[in-house]
Structure 1
Amino acid sequence: MNADPEEPVLHVKGLRFGWSEPPLFNGLSFDIPPGVSLVRGDDGSGKSTLLRLLAGAQNADAGSLAIHGIHLDERHDAYRHQVFWIDPQTEAHDALAAKGYLDSLSHHYPNFNAEAMDELVQGFGLGPHLAKPMYMLSTGSRRKVWLTAAFASGTPLTLIDQPFAALDAPSIRFLRGLLQDAADHPSRAWLLADHEAPEGIALKKTVSL
């Protein structure tokens, strides 16, 4: 879908969610424009939960979410194809080889970029690990697989929880460069969740929890 670069990618209106009273979020509203934005908060503030809600992986108690006019509550599957998110702790793909997982993404994301994936694999130094099943990878290598998937997915909205966690220094530098490029993207949005703003990245918006 071609979008006006001046229009926000994600609209969040009146979001309410909680496991008990008072709710974690109540009436939370914001827009996310193209480029790189940040959800910032301390431990327990709800950063990871908010990403789950925005991904459509957790149902909100109230409110609306829309990506380029596609509303989650009206067109759930279409919405999910517009956003990339994965729980960094997931074991759902453990039996797959890393390459098998990455190759499967083209079936879920219409704008998946195989050429970009090859460059990302090289940039993150994943080549020696592609044939290994996910459960055999270190925490850092697993995160590199998720990051490769995130940037190759081609989705209008990409959600990344603690992007620099468990990465080695070369991968941190490579990721920082990717985010610096993403900061000027005219149509895709990346929403990071972390304790503080990433150094050297021009953020379009910060949502503080």
Structure 2
Amino acid sequence: METINLSSRQKEIIELVKKNGPITSEQLASKIGLTRAALRPDLAILTMTEILEARPKVGYIYANKTTSGLFNDYLKKIKIKDVMSKPITVDEQTTVYNAIVNLFLNDVGTIFVENKGCLVGAVSRKDFLKTAIGGTDINKVPIGIIMTRMPNIVYVESQDSVYTAAKKIIDREVDSLPVVEKTSEENEEKIKVIGKLSKTNITRLFVKMIEND
């Protein structure tokens, strides 16, 4: 994961723009003692990262982006495909008992349910607990009986942002979301699970970003 590391010249440009903005590239070049051509790559970087704003016929101004603002923008650009993990899935006919065993062996909070390779439902720890204490024979009942069924499953796609997924996790009060891939077979949409985005994935991302800062 890359962080923005500014050169000493870029930092000098920022300070000059803060004090003298709006200021043209010619004026900046004169103050630093370089040509406009020499400054062009630095100005391009500073405008692309939205630290400076270029206004036609006016010059450069400081965009007043705080560190937190840049961090937020960067976070919104991170794709789910970059941080998702392997999903734990079972077939719709799997017994509740075997699904619970699968849940604990893989140390996850939610299991996704498939039928012929397509997402049809999801079951959380809370669902399993309610079933177990309700007197149901978990050795005989298939997981399809207790799962939350499509289309009531909230999902995300690999190209969505992590920010989008985090919002959905909070809004729906779930611990994870299936990452899906949509295909079309015989004019029928198929939704296949290709990953998982959980609270743990998001926490790991924050830790990694801070460690790499």
- The answer, yes or no, to whether TM exceeds 0.5 is no
**Which has the higher Rg, Structure 1 or Structure 2?**
2
Q: Which has the higher contact order (CA 8 A, sep 6+)?
A: 1
Q: Which has the higher helix share?
A: 2
- TM-score norm. by structure 1 comes to 0.26
- TM-score norm. by structure 2 comes to 0.26
